[in-house]
Chain A
Amino acid sequence: MIRYCVLATFTLVLSAAASAQTAAPAGDPAKGRELTRMCEGCHGIEGWRTAFPEVYRVPKLGGQHATYLAQALHEYKSGDRSHPSMRAIAGSLSDADIANLAAYYAQGGPQTRTASK
């Protein structure tokens, strides 16, 4: 079963990578939505600023590429990217959680308009 799942995932990843540049890591946006309680306290508030260690507005995430979002969370989790709160939060996420959150935030930004170059 596990082997089958790994194989299926691998095949999916390969075909996704091969098919188009719009490919995103397979994640379930509905499951991602269930995890956003830990995110919305900062990312859900218009213009919210981090207070430590530097003051700047936390990024808007809605409509961002899922691939990029997942990569950012993995970087926080591994410590490659540093931000105290984000490291702590990402450290609590499984790979599946990360894919699901990325899928959720990638949905429904205003970018559904036809993209220009």
Chain B
Amino acid sequence: MTTHLQATLLLAASLAALPAIAADVAAGQAKVKEVCQACHGLDGNSQTPDYPRLGGQYPDYLAKALRDYKSGARKNPIMAGFAAALTAKDIEDVAAYYASQPEVLARKY
């Protein structure tokens, strides 16, 4: 029983570690210039306090946020419009691009 549980957890962990779609940072940058830069900055270091800094944020968190905006699970009238225009591939690309930028955020205790 324990072994079965461990195997299930291991499988779940390995599936979670695999990005669903291989991300393309260059394509992400192109999309960011088009859609995100005006508010979040090209490098994700937003200068507007209402708009979060994204540079160096974890890509899986960024992708999750965009999927939630797109689905409506996370409600924000501004982001809903932008996220709706992104494909699943765009979301992975944009998330990978901002995650690759210089860290403006840090883990903090």
Question: A interface vs B, CB < 8 Å?
Answer: 21-24, 36, 40, 43-47, 49, 54-68, 71, 75, 80-82, 105, 108-111, 113, 115-117
Complex contact B53–A36 (CB within 8 A): no
Query: Known contacts being A66-B49, A115-B45, A116-B45, is A40 close to B109, with CB within 8 Å?
Result: yes
Instruction: Decide if A117 touches B42 in the complex (CB within 8 Å).
Output: yes
**29 CB < 8 A contacts A-B:** A36-B109, A43-B107, A55-B12, A55-B13, A55-B60, A56-B63, A57-B58, A57-B60, A57-B61, A59-B57, A60-B107, A60-B108, A61-B105, A62-B107, A63-B53, A63-B105, A63-B106, A64-B53, A65-B51, A65-B52, A65-B53, A81-B74, A108-B106, A109-B106, A109-B108, A110-B103, A115-B41, A115-B47, A117-B47
Nearest CB in chain A to that of B109: its residue: A44
A67 B50 Cβ-Cβ under 8 A: yes
Which residues on A sit within 8 Å (CB–CB) of B107? Answer: 43-46, 60-62
Which residues in B have some Cβ–Cβ distance to A below 8 Å? Answer: 12-13, 16, 41-43, 45-53, 56-58, 60-61, 63-64, 73-75, 103-109
In this complex, which of A75, A80, A105, A109 has the most chain B Cβ atoms within 10 angstroms of its Cβ? A109
State in angstroms the CA–CA spacing of A67 and B46 once bound together.
Answer: 12
Q: Given that A57-B58, A57-B61 are known contacts, is A64 also in contact with B105, CB under 8 Å in the complex?
A: yes
- Would you give the shortest CB distance from B109 to chain A, in whole angstroms? 4
Cα distance A49–B16 in the bound complex, in angstroms:
10
Taking the closest CB of chain B, its distance from the CB of A57, in whole angstroms, is 4
A60 to B57, CA, bound (A): 6
Docked Cα-Cα span, A27 to B12, in Å, equals 40
Whether A109 pairs with B42 at a CB distance below 8 angstroms is no
Q: A55-B12, A64-B105 are in contact. Are A81 and B49 (CB under 8 A)?
A: no
